[in-house]
Amino acid sequence: MSKHDFLSSSVAQELLAGQDWCPFMPVFGPPAVMFARGQGTELWDINDKRYLDFLCGIAVTSLGHSNKAVARALSHQAETLLHVSNFFSNPVATEAAMLINGLMRLAGAGEGQVFFCNSGAEANEAAIKLARKFGGRGRHVVVSALGSFHGRTLGALAATGQPAKHEPFHPMPEGFRHVPYGDVDALVAALDPTVAAVLLEPIQGEGGVIPAPEGYLESVAAVCRERGLLFMVDEVQTGFARTGQWFGFEHAGVSPDVVMFAKALGNGMPVGALWARRDVASVFSPGDHGSTYSGTAIATAAVIAVINEMMAIDAPARAREAEAWIRSELADCEHITHIRGQGLLLGLVLAPEFDSKAVYTQLLDAGLVTNAVNADTIRVAPPLTVSHAEVVEACSIVKKILSALAASATNRTPL
């Protein structure tokens, strides 16, 4: 085998053929499919089988695969300027930050400033440091919710309210406290003079697509304001039109002090951002935080393209419209007890006899990409550009698979 052959798709073929070696560390389960290309809502695997992508790389490719505007911006930027470091500036990052500030101002959050990073976890890490500097010595605790997800780096993991994810890595960094999501009294009870900030998702995405209960974010925002605590909202999964508003917090009409973004921000280009109101951001001084790639031109070119394109198509309205299509197509499906979530971040809650893992596998086989976000819930997060025909096709796959699984379960039951 020549070197060239080895590096070509034969590697992929061998992997799929069940070779027992893998070039990746075993932190992810065995990959179910190897995808080769995508266009809009569609994906094709290396055998050219077509799929509808109703997961979007976990709410990342919100404008669809191979989006023209994003692709053009990236290829233009790749031939113009990739990176210069933060000893200098570049017009691309500047424009991207101004666009984010503008959207946040329109959302009622006030005047703010942006720190660019490369992922959701990094945005949360930066927020945790900002909270600690804001609070000052002895007032450093971040209170977050049980069932939350804030990322995999140590600080973000410590903020994540899932003890099972902490278990292998103790001791966790100090200064984090968790309270039940949706319980204002429990949150108030957890506050003491060591607390600097409260950190919440508007909808717990990884936790199972659990929306904040009515009035919860409003009450938390009021408590934070009364006590001088930072109200930090993790919009990594909900931000940028996914829920039918530009930002998840807008549904509650609150104005957070600090907001974190990533996922849809780059439509697949790795980029994250921390936004903070100007008076909060000003507690940082030069040297307090940084990243080699902060505001790198290639990543922020994607941010500009994403925001401009989302504005041009009125992405929040598209999410609301497609949500209505999905809810209406699945309304007559007896195997789905209800649908949680908002916009195009939805959790299909299956009747108790179903195992979401098995359903996910069958859907994938049938050409529909989703995710079993917990034992009874299938997460669907199609691109905001999804067409009505694609929604109809995807929902008919869901109904067909659930009916088939229900029928085979019934057949096995002895009468």
Ligand X SMILES: *Cc1c(COP(=O)(O)O)cnc(C)c1O
Active site residues: 149, 234, 263
Q: How far is the CB of 160 from ligand X (least distance, A)?
A: 8
Please identify, using beta-carbon distances, which residue of 43 and 269 lies nearer to ligand X.
269
119 binds ligand X (CB under 6 A): yes
Q: Which of 100, 117, 199, 234 binds ligand X (CB under 6 A)?
A: 234
Bridge partners, 276 (sequence order): 113, 258
Q: Which of 54, 116, 149, 261 binds ligand X (CB under 6 A)?
A: 149
Cβ atoms within 10 Å of 110's Cβ, excluding its own: 15
Query: Long-range CB contacts (< 8 A, 24+ apart) of 80-84?
Result: 80/297, 81/297, 82/296, 82/297, 82/298, 83/293, 83/296, 83/297, 83/298, 84/297
Q: How far is the CB of 248 from ligand X (least distance, A)?
A: 10
Q: Which of 38, 57, 112, 120 binds ligand X (CB under 6 A)?
A: 120
Please identify, using beta-carbon distances, which residue of 123 and 330 lies nearer to ligand X.
123
Residue 85: name the closest of 299, 296, 274, 288 by CA.
Answer: 296
Q: 386 is written with which tokens?
A: 């999804």
Q: Which of 53, 125, 206, 390 binds ligand X (CB under 6 A)?
A: 206
Q: Which residue is nearest to ligand X (CB)?
A: 120
Question: Taking contact as CB under 6 A, which single stretch among the options 32-40, 230-238, 281-289, 388-396 is the one that binds ligand X?
Answer: 230-238
Residue 208 vs residues 148, 311, 390: alpha-carbon distances, Å: 9, 29, 24
Cβ atoms within 10 Å of 184's Cβ, excluding its own: 17
CB neighbour list of residue 38: distance below 8 Å, 6 or more residues apart: 44, 53, 61, 64, 65, 66
Bridge partners, 211 (sequence order): 203
Question: Taking contact as CB under 6 A, which single stretch among the options 91-99, 115-123, 328-336, 370-378 is the one that binds ligand X?
Answer: 115-123
371 binds ligand X (CB under 6 A): no
Q: How far is the CB of 120 from ligand X (least distance, A)?
A: 2
Q: Say which DSSP state 120 is in.
A: H
Residues of this chain, 255-294, that bind ligand X according to CB under 6 A? 262-263
Integer Cα distance of 375 and 357 in angstroms:
7
Q: How far is the CB of 234 from ligand X (least distance, A)?
A: 4
Please identify, using beta-carbon distances, which residue of 147 and 395 lies nearer to ligand X.
147
Please identify, using beta-carbon distances, which residue of 270 and 367 lies nearer to ligand X.
270
Q: Which of 40, 112, 205, 208 binds ligand X (CB under 6 A)?
A: 205
Bridge partners, 65 (sequence order): 40
Please identify, using beta-carbon distances, which residue of 271 and 405 lies nearer to ligand X.
271
Looking at the chain, how many residues does it have?
Answer: 415
Residue 402: name the closest of 370, 381, 415 by CA.
Answer: 370
Please identify, using beta-carbon distances, which residue of 119 and 377 lies nearer to ligand X.
119
Q: How far is the CB of 177 from ligand X (least distance, A)?
A: 18
376 binds ligand X (CB under 6 A): no
Applying CB under 6 A, the residues found at the interface with ligand X are: 119-121, 124, 149-151, 201, 205-206, 234, 236-237, 262-263
